[in-house]
C-alpha cells in the first residue's frame, strides 16, 4: 500500500503524465456525502432558518428561560481561579487524577469501599461519547466475540459507537409506545433470553430519548436478573442530577447494582450537569475484582486512548476538579443543577397544561411522567415534519422534545403547534 502510494505520487509529480495525473486526483471520488446526523443535523437546520419564530427543541442542551445557553456560576468561579494559573502541559494518558477521583465519588458514593480498595479502573474520557467509545473498544479487544444489547429506542449515537468499534449489536425491549412508559415485562424477558454473560448498555437515569426510567423496585429486579444470567452492565450516565435535581438520587440504579456485587462499567459526562458541553469532559470507569486487575485494566484503557488522542484536554477537567474539590463550590453546583432540573420540570407542567387548555383530545400525561431532559412525545415523523415546515419548530424526527429548550416565552407557541399537528390523529 505504501509502495503503491509512493509510486503514484512520484509518477504524477515527475512525469505529469495523463493517466498518472488522473489517477492521482481520483483518491476520494467514491466518497458520498454522509447522511445528516439525526440530532446534530437538527441544529444545523435550525441555524439555517431565518424565521423570527423558530424554536430549537432538538439537541439536548440546557437553555435558560430566555432561551440562552447557560454558564453555571460555579464554572465561572472555577474559571476565575484558573485564569493565569494554568500551564498547558499534557495530562497523563488517563487524564486528570483529581477529576477522575471526584467523578468516581459522584457515581459510586463518597464512602465507596470500591474506591477505598482501589478496585475501579478509571480514566478521563472525551465526555460521555468518548467514554462509551473507549468501553466499546475495550470490549472488542478483550471480549472479541461478545455483542452488546442496546435498548429500543436509545440515543442514536450509541449505535454508531458500537458499530465503529465492530461490536455486533442486539436490542432489548424498553419503551412501550401505547403506555408511553417502560415495557418492563418484555425487557425482563429479553434479559432472561439473552445468552448468559451478555453485555448490556443501560441508561443510569433520564433515559435518552424517552425520559422513561425504571422505578427503584424495577431496578432491583433488573439487577437480580443480571445476577442470575451473569450479564454485564455498562451504565451510560449522561444526566446525573438532571432527572431528579439530586445527583445522589440519580445514581440509585448504579448503587443497586453495586449492592448486588455487580462488576459494572460506567460512562460519565459533565456536558449536561455542569453545562460543559464543548469541553468534552467525562470519565470511563470499570469495576474490577481487585486492585491488581484495576491497574491492568486502566493501563489497557490508556493504551486504547494513546493512538486516538494520546491524552485528554486539560481545561474542562480542571474546572471539574476545582468545583468538586471545594465544598462551597460543590454546594453551589448542586444548587445550580437542581435549578436546571426544576426549570425543566416546570416546563413539563406548563406544556401539558397548555395542551390540555387547547382542548387536545389526546392524553399528555406522559409529558409530566417522563423525566430528565427529554419528552418522548409520541408524535410521528410526519407530524414532526409539519412542526418544522409550518411552525419552524426543530426537533428530532422520533418526536423527542428537548424540554431544556422550552421556555415561558415559547411554551404557548409550541403547545399550539403540537395541537395543530396532532388534533386530527
Ligand atoms: C442529545 O441527545 O441531544 C445530546 O446527547 C447531544 C448529542 O450529542 O447527541
Which atom of ligand 1 lies closest to the CA of 209?
Answer: 2
Residues 112 and 244 in one domain: yes
Q: Are 269 and 127 in contact (CB under 8 A)?
A: yes
End-of-domain residue from the set 261, 294, 325: 325
Q: Is residue 227 part of a domain?
A: yes
pLDDT for residue 6? 45
Q: Is residue 20 part of a domain?
A: no
Centre of ligand 1 from the C-alpha of residue 22, in Å: 42
Judge whether 272 counts as a catalytic residue. yes
Alpha helices in 310-410 (DSSP H): 315-325, 327-357, 365-369, 381-391
Q: First vs last Cα of the chain: how many Å apart?
A: 58
Q: Summarize the confidence of residues 27-56 as an average pLDDT.
A: 94
Q: What is the b/e burial string over 97-136, where b = at least 16 CB atoms within 10 angstroms of the residue's CB?
A: eebbebbbebbbbeebebbeeebbbbbbbbbbbbbbbbbb
* pLDDT tier for residue 21 given thresholds of 50, 70 and 90: low
Report the C-alpha gap between 16 and 22 in whole angstroms.
10
Report the C-alpha gap between 124 and 186 in whole angstroms.
35
Centre of ligand 1 from the C-alpha of residue 409, in Å: 24
Q: Summarize the confidence of residues 382-388 as an average pLDDT.
A: 97
pLDDT for residue 14? 45
Residues 46 and 128 in one domain: no
pLDDT for residue 23? 64
| pLDDT tens-digit readout, 272-281 | 999 999 999 9
Centre of ligand 1 from the C-alpha of residue 160, in Å: 13
Centre of ligand 1 from the C-alpha of residue 59, in Å: 5
* pLDDT tier for residue 395 given thresholds of 50, 70 and 90: very high
Residues 314 and 394 in one domain: no
| CATH label of the domain that carries residue 192 | 3.40.640.10
| pLDDT tens-digit readout, 219-228 | 999 999 999 9
| pLDDT tens-digit readout, 122-180 | 999 999 999 999 999 999 999 999 999 999 999 999 999 999 999 999 999 999 999 99
Which atom of ligand 1 lies closest to the CA of 157?
Answer: 9
Helix (H, G, I), strand (E, B) or coil at 27: coil
* pLDDT tier for residue 90 given thresholds of 50, 70 and 90: very high
Report the C-alpha gap between 406 and 104 in whole angstroms.
32
Domain extent for 151: 91-325
Q: 39, 128, 208, 395: which to mutate for ligand 1, most atoms within 8 A of CB?
A: 39
Q: Summarize the confidence of residues 170-192 as an average pLDDT.
A: 96
Residues 198 and 288 in one domain: yes
Residues 314 and 209 in one domain: yes
pLDDT for residue 11? 45
pLDDT for residue 85? 75
pLDDT for residue 8? 47
Percent of residues, the chain, with pLDDT higher than 90: 91
pLDDT for residue 322? 97
pLDDT for residue 323? 98
pLDDT for residue 1? 41
Under 8 Å CB-to-CB from 331, ≥6 apart: which residues?
none
> Using omega within 30 degrees of 0 as the cis cutoff, is the peptide bond preceding 399 cis?
no
Percent of residues, the chain, with pLDDT higher than 70: 94
* Catalytic option among 236, 252, 333, 364: 236
* pLDDT tier for residue 336 given thresholds of 50, 70 and 90: very high
Q: What is the b/e burial string over 4-26, where b = at least 16 CB atoms within 10 angstroms of the residue's CB?
A: eeeeeeebbeeeeeeebeeeeee
Q: Is residue 129 part of a domain?
A: yes
Number of domains in the chain: 2
* pLDDT tier for residue 19 given thresholds of 50, 70 and 90: low
pLDDT for residue 424? 79
* Residue 7 predicted with pLDDT over 70: no
* Catalytic option among 155, 162, 219, 333: 155
Q: Is residue 3 part of a domain?
A: no
Any atom of ligand 1 within 6 Å of the Cβ of 208: yes
Residue that the C-alpha cell 466518497 belongs to: 31
Name the helix (H) or strand (E) containing 413: helix 411-422
- 189 vs 18, higher pLDDT: 189
Any atom of ligand 1 within 6 Å of the Cβ of 270: no
Residue that the C-alpha cell 410521528 belongs to: 380
Residues 203 and 294 in one domain: yes
* Residue 397 predicted with pLDDT over 70: yes
Centre of ligand 1 from the C-alpha of residue 360, in Å: 30
Q: Is residue 12 part of a domain?
A: no
Instruction: Give the residue among 261, 260, 263 at the shortest CA–CA distance from 199.
Output: 263
Judge whether 178 counts as a catalytic residue. no
| CATH label of the domain that carries residue 54 | 3.90.1150.10
Q: Are 257 and 206 in contact (CB under 8 A)?
A: no
Residues 232 and 107 in one domain: yes
Residues 148 and 187 in one domain: yes
Q: Summarize the confidence of residues 251-267 as an average pLDDT.
A: 98
Q: How many CA atoms lie within 13 A of 417 on its CB side?
A: 22
pLDDT for residue 22? 59
End-of-domain residue from the set 296, 325, 354: 325
Any atom of ligand 1 within 6 Å of the Cβ of 410: no
Residues 275 and 382 in one domain: no
- 250 vs 24, higher pLDDT: 250
Q: Is residue 377 part of a domain?
A: yes
pTM: 0.93
Q: Is residue 30 part of a domain?
A: no
**Average pLDDT of the chain to the nearest whole number:** 94
Residues 248 and 359 in one domain: no
End-of-domain residue from the set 261, 295, 325: 325
Q: Cell numbers for 234, please give them.
A: 455498562
Burial class (CB in 10 A: 0-12, 13-18, 19+), 59: buried
Under 8 Å CB-to-CB from 23, ≥6 apart: which residues?
8, 11, 12
Under 8 Å CB-to-CB from 125, ≥6 apart: which residues?
95, 131, 134, 267, 282, 283, 284, 312
Residues 270 and 152 in one domain: yes
Which atom of ligand 1 lies closest to the CA of 128?
Answer: 5
Residues 138 and 242 in one domain: yes
Q: Is residue 232 part of a domain?
A: yes
Q: Are 319 and 124 in contact (CB under 8 A)?
A: no
Judge whether 236 counts as a catalytic residue. yes
Amino acid at each position: 500500500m505504501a509502495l503503491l502510494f509512493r509510486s503514484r505520487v512520484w509518477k504524477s509529480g515527475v512525469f505529469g503524465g495523463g493517466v498518472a495525473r488522473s489517477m492521482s486526483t481520483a483518491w476520494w471520488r467514491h466518497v458520498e456525502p454522509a447522511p445528516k446526523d439525526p440530532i446534530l443535523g437538527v441544529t444545523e437546520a435550525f441555524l439555517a432558518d431565518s424565521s423570527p419564530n423558530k424554536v430549537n427543541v432538538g439537541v439536548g442542551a440546557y437553555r435558560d428561560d430566555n432561551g440562552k445557553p447557560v454558564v453555571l456560576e460555579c464554572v465561572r468561579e472555577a474559571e476565575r481561579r484558573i485564569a493565569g494559573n494554568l500551564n498547558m502541559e499534557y495530562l497523563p494518558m488517563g487524564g486528570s487524577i483529581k477529576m477522575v477521583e471526584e467523578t468516581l465519588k459522584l457515581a459510586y458514593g463518597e464512602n465507596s469501599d470500591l474506591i477505598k480498595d482501589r478496585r475501579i479502573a478509571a480514566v478521563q474520557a472525551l465526555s460521555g461519547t468518548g467514554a462509551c467509545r473507549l468501553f466499546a473498544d475495550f470490549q472488542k479487544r478483550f471480549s472479541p466475540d461478545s455483542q452488546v444489547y442496546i435498548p429500543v429506542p436509545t440515543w442514536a449515537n450509541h449505535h454508531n459507537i458500537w458499530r465503529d468499534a465492530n461490536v455486533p449489536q442486539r436490542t432489548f425491549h424498553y419503551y412501550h409506545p401505547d403506555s408511553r412508559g417502560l415495557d418492563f415485562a418484555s425487557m425482563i424477558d429479553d434479559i432472561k433470553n439473552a445468552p448468559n454473560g451478555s453485555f448490556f448498555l443501560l441508561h443510569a437515569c433520564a433515559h435518552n430519548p424517552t425520559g422513561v426510567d425504571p422505578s427503584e423496585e424495577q431496578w432491583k429486579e433488573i439487577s437480580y436478573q443480571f445476577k442470575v444470567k451473569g450479564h454485564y452492565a455498562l451504565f451510560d450516565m449522561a444526566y446525573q442530577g438532571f432527572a431528579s435535581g439530586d445527583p445522589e438520587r440519580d445514581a440509585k440504579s448504579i448503587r443497586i447494582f453495586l449492592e448486588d456485587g455487580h462488576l459494572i462499567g460506567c460512562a460519565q459526562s459533565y456536558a449536561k450537569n455542569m453545562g460543559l458541553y464543548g469541553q468534552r469532559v467525562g470519565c470511563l470507569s470499570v469495576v474490577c475484582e481487585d486492585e491488581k486487575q484495576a491497574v491492568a485494566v486502566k493501563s489497557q484503557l490508556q493504551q486504547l486512548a494513546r493512538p486516538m488522542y494520546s491524552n485528554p484536554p486539560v481545561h474542562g477537567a480542571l474546572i471539574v476538579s476545582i468545583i468538586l474539590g471545594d465544598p462551597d463550590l460543590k454546594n453551589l453546583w448542586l444548587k445550580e443543577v437542581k435549578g436546571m432540573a426544576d426549570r425543566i420540570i416546570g416546563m413539563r407542567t406548563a406544556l401539558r397544561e397548555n395542551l390540555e387548555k387547547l382542548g387536545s383530545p389526546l392524553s399528555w400525561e406522559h409529558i409530566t411522567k417522563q423525566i430528565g431532559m427529554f419528552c418522548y412525545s409520541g408524535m410521528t415523523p410526519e407530524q414532526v415534519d409539519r412542526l418544522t415546515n409550518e411552525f419552524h419548530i426543530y426537533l428530532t424526527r422520533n418526536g423527542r422534545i428537548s424540554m431544556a429548550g422550552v421556555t415561558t416565552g415559547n411554551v404557548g407557541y409550541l403547545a399550539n403547534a403540537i395541537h395543530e399537528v396532532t388534533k386530527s390523529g
